[in-house]
Structure 1
Amino acid sequence: MSEPRINDRIRVSEVRLVGPGGEQVGVVRVEDALRLAQEADLDLVEVAPNARPPVCKLMDFGKYKYEADMKARDARRNQANTVLKEIRFRLKIDPHDYGTKKGHVERFLKGGDKVKVMIMFRGREQSRPEMGMRLLQRLADDVAELGHVESVPRQDGRNMTMVLGPNKKKSEARNEQRRRKDQDAEDAASAG
């Protein structure tokens, strides 16, 4: 965003002036507007340069810039980037290993991330894609309360992939984790 022109940088003869409280002053010469700004110890800021005549407002430009920066920072803080995590399975997976990998998938989904689940086929396993479909369907059923299938299992050369999406948005998951952490801290403080 380009910075608006202020005070002496405004190079037009007339401006439509808006007072510090948002009240309309009217169309005035730029010299008069600058004088009013100096008397009020404020800045003359061009808020609508494309209007005819340009619209200028009397305001404290430093305070305005600070508030705009804080608003942008809050927007960035609340913005959440969903990450695509990847988990790889083999077709002949031990039940304990399956439980461990399922735990990872659950953790990723609770954190609000998408999970790409991939089964790698080796040798003669490639002739049995239905077994891979069954394994992926079992995993989807096991984590159904945390996530849903975004892209159905699909054979992709020697691999079969499926994407699981979280039921909660990333920002909701992060806020819930923050609340839980604050609650735990309060409980520890009251107990100790």
Structure 2
Amino acid sequence: MIINNKIKAAEVQLTGIDGEDLGIVPTSEALAMAKKLKVDLVCTSLMSSPPPCKLVRAGAAKEEAQQVRKREQKAKVKEIRLTPQIEEHDYETKKQQAERILRAGDAALLVVRISGKEGEKAKKLLEELLRDLASVGVKQSGIQLSGKQAAVQVNPIA
């Protein structure tokens, strides 16, 4: 994002503060207008000629850039391990941990370690946990039973 005096183009396609089209204006005139209105002149793209620029309230451009960077950061997947014979208190603790992860914007991978014929019990446990977490997250796909574990990924609600 290029701001104010760093814009090197001779003229720009200018958009006003309220989104109104001001047409093609020399860069010096656009900068003078921005200075007069006490706002920033922000170039949104360098891929066209003349580059599109808009007048934005002072400081908003930096805030917007930070928000875009924050949104672009890939969500982490954090694993929570359980066992089919989990106690009620431990279940509540794991549920709260998953809620905290989802509210922070990260995905939670719920994994139940199984041995022998605990597959159905593990699946029921994950289904119950998914119901309890429905307010803060949605499952990415179905519950996968594979070998010694049952797993499901829960993504945060956007």
Q: TM-score, normalised by structure 1?
A: 0.54
Q: How much does 1:29 deviate?
A: 1.2
**Alignment of 1:140 onto 2:140:** no
Equivalent residue number for residue 111 of structure 2? 115
Matched-pair contact (CA < 8 Å) for 1:46–1:55:
yes
Cα distance, 1:69 vs. partner?
A: 3.7
8 Å contact kept, 2:42–2:61: no
2:28 paired residue number: 31
- The one-letter code sitting in structure 2 at the alignment partner of 1:115 is V
How far apart in 1 are the matches of 2:37 and 2:125? Answer: 67
* Identity rate, percent: 24
CA displacement 1:74-125 (0-9 Å, x = unmatched): x59xx97553233468xxxxxxxx453x864575357364123143xxxxxx
Please report how far the alpha carbon of residue 40 of structure 1 lies from its aligned counterpart in structure 2 after TM superposition. Answer: 1.4
Segments of structure 2 that go 5 or more residues without pairing to the other structure are: 100-107, 131-138
The secondary structure found in structure 1 opposite 2:14 is strand
Cα separation, 2, equivalents of 1:99 and 1:42: 59
Paired with 1:8 and 1:70, the residues of 2 have a C-alpha distance of: 23
Distance 1:14 1:99, change over 3 A: closer
The CA RMSD over aligned residues, in Å, is 3.6
Is contact 1:87-1:118 (8 Å) kept?
Answer: no
Equivalent position amino acid for 1:165 in 2: V
Query: Which protein has the bigger helix share?
Result: 1
Are residues 1:49 and 2:46 paired? yes
Structure ranking higher in strand proportion: 2
For 1:5, give the aligned amino acid.
I
Partner amino acid, structure 2, of 1:83: K
CA shift, 1:144, in A, is 4.3
User: What aligned pairs does 1:1-192 form with structure 2 within 5 A after superposition?
Assistant: 4-67=1-64, 69=66, 81-87=76-82, 98=85, 100=87, 104=90, 108=94, 111=98, 113=108, 114-119=110-115, 132=116, 134-141=117-124, 144-147=127-130, 150-154=143-147, 161-165=148-152, 169=154, 171=156
Counterpart secondary structure, 1:52:
coil
TM-score, normalisation: structure 2: 0.63
User: Aligned partners of 2:39 and 2:86: how far apart in 1?
Assistant: 65
Please state whether the residue corresponding to 2:63 is helix, strand or coil: helix
Q: Report which of the two structures shows the higher radius of gyration computed on alpha carbons.
A: 1
Mark the CA change 1:13 to 1:141 in structure 2 (over 3 Å): closer, same or farther. Answer: closer
